[in-house]
Structure 1
Amino acid sequence: MAAITTALLLSACGDKAPADSAAAPAATAGKGELNLYTTREPGLVQPLLDAFTAETGIKVNTVMLRDGLTERLAAEGERSPADVLMTADTGRLLDVVEAGHTQAIDSAVLTAAIPAHLRSADGQWFALSLRDRVVYADKDLDLSGFTYEDLADEKWKGRVCIRSGQHPYNTSLFAAMIAHNGAQATESWLSAVKGNLARKAAGGDRDVARDILAGICDIGIANAYYVGRMKNAEEGSEQRAWGDAIQVVRPVFAADNGGTHVNISGAAVARHAPNRDNAVKLLEYLVGEQAQSLYARANYEYPVRAGVELDPVVASFGAMNIDPLPLAEVVANRKLASELVDKVGFDN
């Protein structure tokens, strides 16, 4: 276990994916193998797959894809060799489900480990880990009881940083805001948040921490797991300085007893999976205690399985009250959220 964890810690340091794999594995079934199509970063997923192979003896043939997962599956049709489909975003996962590229799985292991609102009721898809969308704030600010709606407060004028509103992390958040508060209120909120920006909505999540350190802004929205990477970076490094400059506050939606917004990494079994039984074994392994610990301790993501020990940095953020809004309801509002981003000129 220690060796596996060390390998994952080392691998997770890399953020860049290689070029998409052009060749797919053969579509024939193999007793001791399965074929994975994934949009996740290799450094985050491969050590988990290696651990699965070490425990089960099942080889995982991996095809890494940046984009075009749905289109590839459509082109391959019934000849597709894909067994498991894995993505790093709820929307992309449900896209392949809605396109008819998945099949229902009835697994007591998955049902017991994953809360109902983090999996489909018909067994078509399952969350494997969570990424909470939080506030990065200057370490000296007092932000107790913060809500996502508070980002529109005029007191933050010229003090907010955020990446592009069209990035999937943000359209997911905005879609959840629509589900909670309605489209008209969300449009007004987006306009007000834009008016509070200290700079153009651009860059990445870690750039929010960088710009707080530089005094460009005081608060911003970003994913929590990046803070684990920054605060655990080498002493004296640039990223460590960014992490040390901020605190993390988990906002909640003010309406409807809302909680903290989460996106997911998740997976489904492909519709024409030639190695279906092995595919189910992989999903069940990934929600087990060992794999969930690797997600939590090395990737700094939030486990879907209860009772898994968190990385100390992530644990320091305090308890997370996950928004109970069904993820399918969030995804249903993605297109409207994207349209509102353009309508208010959020990225201009």
Structure 2
Amino acid sequence: MPITKTMRAATAALSMTTLLGAVPALADTVNIYTYREPNLVQPLLDAFTESTGIKTQVLFAKKGLAQRIASEGENTPADLIMTVDISRLDSAAKLGITQPIKLDSVEQNIPAEFRDPDGQWIGLTQRARIIYASKERVKEQAITYEELADPKWKGRICTRSGQHVYTIGLVSSMIAHLGEEKAQEWLTAVKNNLARKPTGNDRAQVKAIYAGECDIALGNTYYMGKMETNEKDPEQKEWASSVRLIFPNAEGRGTHVNLSGVQLTKHAPNKEAALKLIDFLVSPEAQKIYASSNFEYPLKPGVEPDARVASWGDLKPDTLPLSKIAELRKAASEMVDRVGFDDGPAS
């Protein structure tokens, strides 16, 4: 049962109850619930089907998938969860809706620091939370996360919601490095330096820089590649050309990174086929597809980033354990609300 573009669009708009009716648990088909936009994973799934003959079905939603799997229990059609951010991976595992992934290929291809010790999730790719800086209005070649609190940036910073998982991950890392008191002081100062209320996605922040609404913004690395190569919406190429990437804390502890990952559901109806897909996703072939089509950093040692990604500069990842970021996500979320981050700068 192929998933058409129309069906993918519908999944974003319909209720989760309606969505489930579109994903029956077909034999010899891997059913995937994903928080990742389908176009980001489809090249991988197409290559998998071509290689194995096993079909895939994709159910996309921005939120609520893990909770839905929990409510479906043994009747879930979902075989795999594909998502971004260690917080979502950790949350699904703690809901008890996953089972250990036991594959030699995973242990051979994905370093231990990017795998759950109990096998409840594995990382597939890495992305960095960097700074987009105006080529015209920002002369600094290096900026740390801590320096975003400097009053010189007042009215010059754009970012997406403080409660988005990307922001929560960064705030969690700041709590880990600075301690909660100093991290809150930092977040309050960053809030006061905002040019506007947090809004939009990462691409919208680059558009805002292009429009002169702000001078720097936080965003994920791979969005730059998506904008630079966007033929359907070529104005995004103009947005991208107006900024350069700065890897924060490159001279110190390293730049904050996070994962995309995969999990095997506890009651996967097509477990054998799902494990074959996981085996494929950690293979050199799939890691190269990730690197070239999604502009993400492969996790398998020896698979190089895409040339476009390499041209942005060297990534020195922060070595803070991802498990620590997951542990601090609740504190980070509460801090975002406590300082009123999404209310924007004080008038």
Q: Post-superposition shift, 1:50? A: 1.7
Deviations along 1:118-138, one digit per CA (max 9) or x if unpaired, are: 211111101112221100001
Q: SS of the counterpart of 1:347?
A: helix
Q: Post-superposition shift, 1:176? A: 1.2
Distance 2:279 2:318 in 1: 24
Deviations along 1:219-250, one digit per CA (max 9) or x if unpaired, are: 11111111112222349932111111000011
CA distance 1:71–1:292, shift in 2 (3 Å): same
Distance 2:216 2:209 in 1: 7
In the alignment, which residue of structure 2 is the partner of 1:89?
Answer: 85
Q: Does the 8 Å contact 2:169/2:325 carry over to 1? A: yes
Distance 2:196 2:298 in 1: 33
19-28 or 132-141, larger mean C-alpha shift? 19-28
CA distance 1:67–1:77, shift in 2 (3 Å): same
Q: Does the 8 Å contact 1:17/1:42 carry over to 2? A: no
1:279 aligns with 2:277: no
In the alignment, which residue of structure 2 is the partner of 1:39?
Answer: 35
In the alignment, which residue of structure 1 is the partner of 2:156?
Answer: 159
205-214 or 165-174, larger mean C-alpha shift? 205-214
Q: Does the 8 Å contact 2:158/2:195 carry over to 1? A: yes
Q: Post-superposition shift, 1:112? A: 2.1
1:52 aligns with 2:29: no
Backbone CA RMSD of aligned residues: 2.4
Matching residue's letter, 1:164: S
In the alignment, which residue of structure 1 is the partner of 2:116?
Answer: 120
Which one of 216, 224, 235 corresponds to residue 227 of structure 1? 224
Which one of 53, 71, 78 corresponds to residue 75 of structure 1? 71
Distance 1:169 1:240 in 2: 23
In the alignment, which residue of structure 2 is the partner of 1:345?
Answer: 340
TM-score by length of structure 1 reads 0.88
Q: Post-superposition shift, 1:286? A: 0.8
186-195 or 80-89, larger mean C-alpha shift? 80-89
In the alignment, which residue of structure 2 is the partner of 1:293?
Answer: 288
CA distance 1:57–1:291, shift in 2 (3 Å): same
Which one of 58, 61, 65 corresponds to residue 62 of structure 1? 58
Q: Does the 8 Å contact 1:231/1:313 carry over to 2? A: no
184-193 or 101-110, larger mean C-alpha shift? 101-110
Q: Post-superposition shift, 1:35? A: 2.2
CA distance 1:107–1:191, shift in 2 (3 Å): same
TM-score by length of structure 2 reads 0.88
CA distance 1:186–1:56, shift in 2 (3 Å): same
80-89 or 188-197, larger mean C-alpha shift? 80-89
Alignment identity in percent?
47
Matching residue's letter, 1:131: R
1:336 aligns with 2:321: no
Alignment of 1:1-348 (within 5 A): 18-19=12-13, 21-23=19-21, 25-27=23-25, 30=27, 32-140=28-136, 141-234=138-231, 237-252=234-249, 258-348=253-343
Q: SS of the counterpart of 2:197?
A: coil
CA distance 1:15–1:264, shift in 2 (3 Å): farther
Q: Does the 8 Å contact 1:53/1:60 carry over to 2? A: yes
CA distance 1:27–1:311, shift in 2 (3 Å): closer
66-75 or 189-198, larger mean C-alpha shift? 66-75
Q: Does the 8 Å contact 2:250/2:316 carry over to 1? A: no
CA distance 1:73–1:237, shift in 2 (3 Å): closer
Distance 1:204 1:81 in 2: 30
CA distance 1:114–1:15, shift in 2 (3 Å): farther
Q: Does the 8 Å contact 2:170/2:256 carry over to 1? A: yes
Q: SS of the counterpart of 1:247?
A: strand
Runs of 4+ in 1 over 4 A off after TM superposition: 14-17, 24-28
Distance 2:311 2:11 in 1: 30
Q: Does the 8 Å contact 2:127/2:257 carry over to 1? A: yes
Q: SS of the counterpart of 1:203?
A: coil
**What are the ranges of 5 or more consecutive residues in structure 2 without an aligned counterpart?**
none
